[in-house]
Structure 1
Amino acid sequence: MLPRLPLDDRTFESILQEARRSIPQRLPEWTDENTHDPGVTFLELFSWLSEMQQFYLSRVPERNLRKFLDLLGVSPREASSAEAEVSFGNVRESVVLPRGTKLLAEDQLFETLDRVRLLPLAIDRIVTRTEREASDRSASNTGGNVAFYAFGREAAADSRLYIAFDREPVVGEIISLHIRLAEDSNRTADIAGGKPEGVIPSARVAWKAYGWEEKHGVSWLPLRLLEDDTLHLTYSGRITFEITAPLRPVIVHPAGDRPRYWISCTLEESGYELPPRIDRLLLNTVRARQQDTKSEQALFDSNGMPGFSIEDDSFLARYGKLRVQVRESDGRWREWREIPNFDAGNADAQSTCYTVERHSGSNGPVTVRFGDGVLGTIPPQGKGNIRRIHYSEEFTSLCYIGRSNGLPYQKFQLYDLPCKWSNGLLLQVGVPEGDGGRLLWEDWEPVRDFDRSGPLDRHYVYNPSTGELKFGNDENGAIPASHEDLNLCVMSCVLGGGERGNIKPHLLNSWIQPELDELQLTADNAGYGVGGAEGESLEDCLERAQKEWQTPYCAVTNDDYVRIAKSTPGLKVARVHVIPHYAPGRGKSAPGAVTVVVVPKGLNDTPMPSPGFLATVAKHLDDRRLVTTEVHVIAPEYVQVTVHAVVVVEPHFMEEGHRIVAALNRLISPLDKPDGIQGWPFGRTVHKGDIYSAISRIKGIAYVQDLWLDAEGKSIRKSAGGDILLPDSGIIFSGDHRIELISRTQL
């Protein structure tokens, strides 16, 4: 019996019952629902037909499902690698760690994503200063798990964050400071460096150092900022600056035991919706990804001059093996050979060769130098026509995956290279040069399938889940040239990915290369490794696609505007209200205009969006609005409502007036509460009856003897009955309610 594929899990009985339940709604005049009724017979017939149709739809094979998804632009997600921040310690002298430096967390291999220069520098003190107080936060940074506000809870303008170093930085040193915010500690995108695009910062900060300059003397001088990955301390990230003037020691209160070398971050323009709360400040830190690069390639431009050289610095460049290729006029690549030096015995004018120059102790970039036209050929001038391929020692026996027989539909199983990404393998095919000559190498491109491939397209398909590599049939995809020897070579290969890379803190601490272990450096990841995931199954992809199809992309209805505004990348939006046919300054006589009121998440009851916040939401909506729609994004108009009430209560309730105030605060609130209580609707009139009802529901209340409302804010009016009339963008918050209690026995 063939297994059943439940594309739709509804049975005949469930379909029939669903249809019968809809009869009272759709056809209320249909009263006879017994079996003898002809209408019920038709329902049974169509329910049976529906079940049969579901069965045949469920017989769609996996290949067809993938094709259907491809037509819709959807494909199963491949595995992803976890990333973590790794910090290095015990730095006794300046050391450069190349990109791709390998570290081990138990059995998981990680590689650094950037080249990093480790400096014998440490953070000695951290001080925060506001208008009210100055605090030493050094213990919070070193102890961990205790976050602190960089500019205080209010984040007022001119608040400062001071950072002191344990020694004087040298002029010309480039220092990278990693800042991890507490709000971003569990956000994968921020740790991975994937900041949302198009976000306009809500505040502006300035970085300075206390130093000496001939023009200004000893004072706080602006730092030369090379990179601000934090967007003015809005997200976690890296800040890189260069020391351009000699620093001078100074005492900063309350770290007044001795002078230190300080830099400062001054909040020049306030506006944070959520003030930055720092979890850790780290030096000598770099991001690392759970992966194992077996082979990598890099392209370089040639200037066609004698003695031309190229430099590259990566882990495999320093400690791996090297191949150099030069592009021929027909686009193919010729392999050049390495020689120890250029002399008459090793090279002549026709020799396609190069030499390799390494720094002493493998601490620096590796240089490849070419000939001068007399001793060694000069590579022709061109853009990206020189390729360096670096690979590990063990990859030498794995890079050649087979030979082509020149037939269509060739398949190869890569048992020894379990790559989890379709583009994690880059392939070259060797083509003989003439009869029995050396191989020239052609670059082949990975594709998802051969549906869009022509007979001349050098494409291949790699399936990460099965490890199978396939070529075309000379109609959809070219056939690799045949050869007697191995001529299919993997040029680039990256392994890794999966959930196991989501490591715990303090596990990333072992070196792979003995030369790095000899430096006696320490490594540690203060946070978790996040972002690792297995490849998505076809069933999960179908479920995700169905949810995406049900979610409109364009903003048409009010609900669309609310949903899209709340999902603005990089922002935390608490509430959204849409006012159709309204434009600021024109009122409700603006056909085609839509005004969106946004409330950010904040620390107080009346959070206000900054101009940058509003501009970011407006840009996000502008990309999704209808062409004929005019969109405006504005801040809410807060109205403070104060309740004055005389309440008659039971005698035992005379000391429980705070319960009435608490109930009013829950009712008169602009924000949603964690217990499921929704905030006050935008523009809704505050009726005295609502207040009467909220107070009367409290246990111990006899009745409300008298009640009146006061309001403070723009564009508010009071009705003849004492109700508060709000503007369309208005929202209320509680004032200082005044409640007078009278015992029932006193009347």
Structure 2
Amino acid sequence: MLPRIPLDDRTFESILQEARRGISQRLPEWTDENTHDPGMTFLELFSWLSEMQQFYLSRVPERNLRKFMDLLGVSPLEASSAEAEVSFGNIREAVVLPRGTKLLAEDQPFETLSAVKLLPLAIDRIVTRTELEASDRSASNTGGNVAFYAFGREAAADSRLYIAFDREPVVGETISMHIRLADDADYSEQSSGRSHNGIIPSARVAWKIFGWEEEHGASWLPLRLLEDDTQHLTYSGRISFEITMPVRPVIVHPAGDRPRYWISCTLEQSGYELPPRIDRVLLNTTKARQQDTKSEQIEYDGEGVSSQSIVEDSFLARYGKLRVQVRERDGRWREWNELASFSGAESDSRAFVVEREFGVNGPVTVRFGDSKQGAIPPEGKGNIRRIHYTEDFASLCWIGRSNGLPHQKFQLFDLPCKWREGLLLQVGVREADGELLWEDWEPVENFDRSGPLDRHYVYDPESGQLMFGNDENGAIPSSHEDLNLCVTSCVLGGGERGNIKPHLLNHWVQPELEAYGLTADNAGYGVGGREGETLEMSLERAQREWQTPYCAVTNEDYVRIAKSTPGLKVSRVHVIPDYAPGRENAPGAVTVVVVPQGLSDTPMPSAGFLATVAKHLDDRRLITTEVSVIAPEYIKVTVHAIVVVEPHYTEEAHRIVSTLNRLLTPLDKSDGIQGWPFGRTVHKGDIYGAISRIKGVAYVQDLWLDAEGRFLRKSAGGDIVLPGSGIVYSGDHRIELISRTQL
């Protein structure tokens, strides 16, 4: 039964009544509208035909909807995997964990996304120092429940953050710290691969270490940074640095009980809209994703030299099984055989040996022959492939055999992969000598754009079904009497269940890793995991995206695009058309006033903040439009008033002050209070009205306004006229209350 989509909600009666209402307008001479009239019969007939037509039009099958969406470039989103930061402890000696190291959070598998070198190093103390105070924040960092300001609430220049290690770092070591900021709203979107490359930091910091150099002796010296994902402590991220000099212990107040090995971060240029508030500083931390890689394939360049070696260090390379393939001239892959050694091997033997220098806990090297004992792989780009897979995958990778017929379908019950790209397939083709050569096949969403020679297949993650073409749209895999359809890459996982709670990611999968005695833990939540979109959800998303402006044309477009500047927290935006700074009448110019989120009532954007918004708008403006981005002009407005109130309200001037503060506020509040409109004149009548509506106020006897700020002027009636970029905030209002009985 096809679902009915209500393209038109009119019924037979509503269509008929609409037609009858048009009779008097179009044919006033038609006066008989009774049922016996032949004209009424025709109206009823065509109303019925219209209802039937809309009924059939509404019954659009799912296939048609997907085709319509494809024309718009929209397709249902696949499931995504959650990511979490995992920290390792109880490190007694330096250990390298390979990429793909598997951990468990209850029944959810996670894998590290990169190799991490764990050092027997811990954070011993954290100290913050401003011009007014110095504080030991070690307990806050250890507990992880109380965030602290890295440079104080004011984040003034020359404020410092000190971090001490429990032992002397070794020269040549690379140390990575992960800094989590409490106010980083983008942190929850880490799984989407966010990037802050286009953002100009609002402030600038400098990292130093107390080390020793022959020229300067023991002093604070620049730290050699290798990576700073935090953009000068603006966002959560990783900071990596190399120890290039001997580190010397020193006492830093208030951690003055003994000398320690310190690094420091100095705020050299202030300007943060939101001062960085640190939730945790973590060592030996890396990112893990909720997934279970059953098989992976990695390609290398053939050098065409004798005894070529290729080294790989991943979890599956260490603890999994291995296949090696070399690409032939026709693009197909030939399987090479593993030997214990090349002793006795023939010169044309397609073989390799596996070398493990550190046993199962180290990188794995594949070495080829020298043309005397074992063949040499030909030179070529990406023509050598290593396939690593788990032991249980050795039987699961064979999904069937091709019978050479069109529209073949295979059900993958044992491989519930949720991504099309997470499942890569090879088809074996028998040669004359009986050996199989392997062809790479490519996953596509559908066969609409596939030709008869395209080696494409369609995998539906929702049903777990894999389909091939019909030799017109998509090629047919070669037939074979044995299994010849093999999965070479398979990644399982994904979904909302990966959004784990803190302190669950603490179980090792591989027994060899448990022998190290390491501990693992996730200090934060797993974020970013979601289920795949249904067709209905995809339609709703397409409708929302259709309403989202990507090109700035109208004032509303500029406001919405400026507020959505990636990586920035923009509170308010105001657009002034036909205006450029210094030019009142400037056709084709647009000035955008931006107010950032901040801790004060009058937050000011930094030069980096304005430049980032300007760059975001410049990529989306019309080519003939000149766009300027400026800071707001804050106008301080102070109200002086003499107010007559009821006798028992004479001591409650604070209620009037509170009302004026809510009225004359530059920012929108969470309780629904709207900030004062940009450039709107502050009329005395606005103040009269706000005070008069307060309970207990009889009337306002006298009132006048004072204002401070640039470009304002006062009208003859005492109103405050603001510039176009002006926005008000409250001063110290002075309210005098008089009882009605005293008059």
TM-score of the pair, normalised by structure 1: 0.94
Instruction: Provide the residue aligned with 2:489 in structure 1.
Output: 492
5 Å-filtered alignment, 1:256-655, equals 256-343=256-343, 345=344, 347-433=345-431, 435-587=432-584, 589-655=585-651
Report the CA distance between 1:223 and its aligned residue. 1.2
Find the aligned partners of 1:746 and 1:106 in 2 and give their Cα distance: 75
- CA contact 2:109–2:291 (8 Å) conserved in 1: yes
Which residue number in structure 2 is paired with residue 236 of structure 1? 236
In 2: Cα distance, 1:573 partner to 1:53 partner: 49
Q: Distance in 2 between matches of 1:258 and 1:18?
A: 92
Structure 1 gap segments, 5+ residues each: none
Q: CA deviation at 1:744?
A: 2.3
Determine the C-alpha separation between the residues in 2 that align with 1:267 and 1:625.
35
Whole-angstrom CA distance in 2 between matches of 1:470 and 1:147: 53
Give the drift of 1:540. 1.1
Q: Contact 1:356–1:369 at 8 Å: present in 2 too?
A: yes
Identify if the C-alpha distance between structure 1 residues 337 and 679 changes in structure 2 by more than 3 Å, giving closer, same or farther. Answer: same
Letter in 1 for 2:696: G
Is the CA contact 1:19–1:43 (under 8 Å) kept in the aligned structure 2?
Answer: no
Q: How big is each residue's C-alpha offset from its partner over 1:44-103, in whole Å with a ceiling of 9 and x where there is no partner?
A: 999866654442233211111111111110001111111111111111111111111111
For 1:299-345, what per-residue CA distance to the aligned partner results, in whole angstroms no more than 9, with x for missing partners? 111222212111111100000011111111221111111111122x2
Moved more, 35-44 or 155-164: 35-44
Tell me, yes or no, if the aligned pair for 1:16 and 1:43 is still in contact at 8 Å.
no
Counterpart contact for 1:190–1:237, Cα < 8 Å: no
**Aligned equivalents of 1:50, 1:581: Cα separation in 2:** 50
**One-letter code aligned to 2:657:** V
Deviations along 1:446-481, one digit per CA (max 9) or x if unpaired, are 111111112221111111111111111222212212
How many residues align? The count is 733
- 1:42 is displaced (CA, Å) by 11
> CA, structure 1 residues 14+71, in 2 after alignment: closer, same or farther (shift >3 Å)?
farther
1 CA distance for matches of 2:218 and 2:75? 60
Counterpart in the other structure of 1:6:
5
Q: How does 1:194-209 map to 2 (within 5 A)?
A: 194-209=194-209
Superposed CA offset, 1:351-386 (max 9, x none): 111111113342221111111221111211222111
* 1:584 match: secondary structure: coil
In 1, the alpha carbon distance for the partners of 2:42 and 2:158 equals 77
- Partner of 2:162 in structure 1? 162
Change (3 A) 1:36 1:502: farther
Separation (CA, whole Å) in 1 of partners of 2:202 and 2:94: 37
Contact 2:186 2:567 survives alignment (8 Å) = no
2: CA distance, partners of 1:424 / 1:46? 54
CA contact (8 A) 1:85 1:191 kept: no
Instruction: Note if contact 1:75-1:541 (Cα within 8 Å) is conserved in structure 2.
Output: yes
Shift of the 319–44 alpha-carbon distance from structure 1 to 2, 3 Å rule, reads: farther
Matches of 1:410 and 1:680, distance apart in 2:
66
CA 1:358/1:243 → structure 2, altered by over 3 Å: closer, same or farther?
same
Q: Secondary structure at the match of 1:210?
A: strand
| 1:104-149, Cα deviation, whole Å (9 max, x unpaired) | 1111111111101111111110111111111111111111221111
Q: Is the 8 A contact 2:3 2:61 kept in 1?
A: no
- Matching residue within 671, 676, 682 for 2:678: 682
Specify whether residues 241 and 649 from structure 1 end up closer, same or farther in structure 2 by C-alpha distance, changes over 3 A only.
same
Q: 5 Å matches for 1:138-217?
A: 138-184=138-184, 187-190=187-190, 193-217=193-217
Deviations 1:368-409 (A, max 9, x none): 111122111121122211111100000000111111122222
Alignment pair present for 1:227 and 2:227: yes
Tell me the distance in 2 between the aligned counterparts of 1:645 and 1:47.
Answer: 68
Separation in structure 2 between the aligned mates of residue 249 and residue 13 of structure 1, nearest angstrom:
88
Question: CA, structure 1 residues 731+5, in 2 after alignment: closer, same or farther (shift >3 Å)?
Answer: same
**2:16, 2:44 within 8 Å by CA — same for their partners in 1?**
no
- Cα-to-partner distance string for 1:263-298 (whole Å, 9 max, x where unaligned): 111111111111111111111111111111000011
Separation in 1 of the partners of 2:33 and 2:202?
Answer: 67
Amino acid at match of 1:667: L
Deviation (angstroms), 1:15: 6.5
Q: Distance in 2 between matches of 1:394 and 1:43?
A: 71
For residues 44 and 576 of structure 1, do their structure 2 counterparts lie closer, same or farther at Cα, with a shift above 3 Å needed?
farther
Q: Does 1:124 align with 2:121?
A: no
Give the Cα–Cα distance (whole angstroms) in 1 for the partners of residues 336 and 322 of structure 2.
Answer: 11
Indicate how the Cα distance of structure 1 residues 451 and 206 shifts in structure 2: closer, same or farther if over 3 A, else same: same
Q: Distance in 1 between matches of 2:4 and 2:624?
A: 45
Q: Distance in 2 between matches of 1:18 and 1:205?
A: 73
CA RMSD of aligned residues (A): 2.5
Alpha-carbon distance in 1 for matches of 2:43, 2:180: 62
SS state at 2:208 partner: strand
Instruction: Please tell me the residue identity of whatever aligns with 2:582.
Output: G
Residue 190 of structure 1 contacts residue 235 of structure 1 at CA under 8 Å; is this kept in 2? no
Identity %: 78
CA separation in 1, counterparts of 2:562 and 2:236? 23
User: Quick check: 1:446–1:461 contact (8 Å CA) kept in 2?
Assistant: yes
Between 1:186-195 and 1:534-543, the stretch displaced more is: 186-195
Question: Which amino acid counterpart does residue 385 of structure 2 have in structure 1?
Answer: R
Counterparts of 1:280 and 1:192 in 2: how far apart (Å)?
22
Q: Aligned with 2:172: secondary structure?
A: coil
Counterpart amino acid of residue 390 in structure 2 = S
Does the CA-based 8 Å contact 2:325-2:336 persist in structure 1?
yes
When residues 18 and 316 of structure 1 are mapped into structure 2, their CA distance, relative to the original with a 3 A threshold, is: farther
SS of alignment partner, residue 559 of structure 2: helix
1:641 aligned counterpart, secondary structure: strand
Question: What do the CA deviations read for 1:671-701 (whole angstroms, capped 9, x no partner)?
Answer: 0122211100000011111111111111122
In the TM superposition, what is the alpha-carbon distance from 1:662 to its structure 2 partner? 0.7
Separation (CA, whole Å) in 1 of partners of 2:337 and 2:631 = 67
Whichever residue aligns with residue 674 of structure 2, its letter is Q
1:183 partner SS: coil
Q: Could you tell me whether the CA contact under 8 Å between 2:425 and 2:442 is conserved in 1?
A: yes
- Give, in angstroms, the shift of residue 193 of structure 1: 4.9
- 1:212 is paired with a residue whose SS is strand
Unmatched 5+ residue regions in structure 2? none
Q: Secondary structure of 2:392's match?
A: helix
Whole-angstrom CA distance in 2 between matches of 1:57 and 1:616: 48
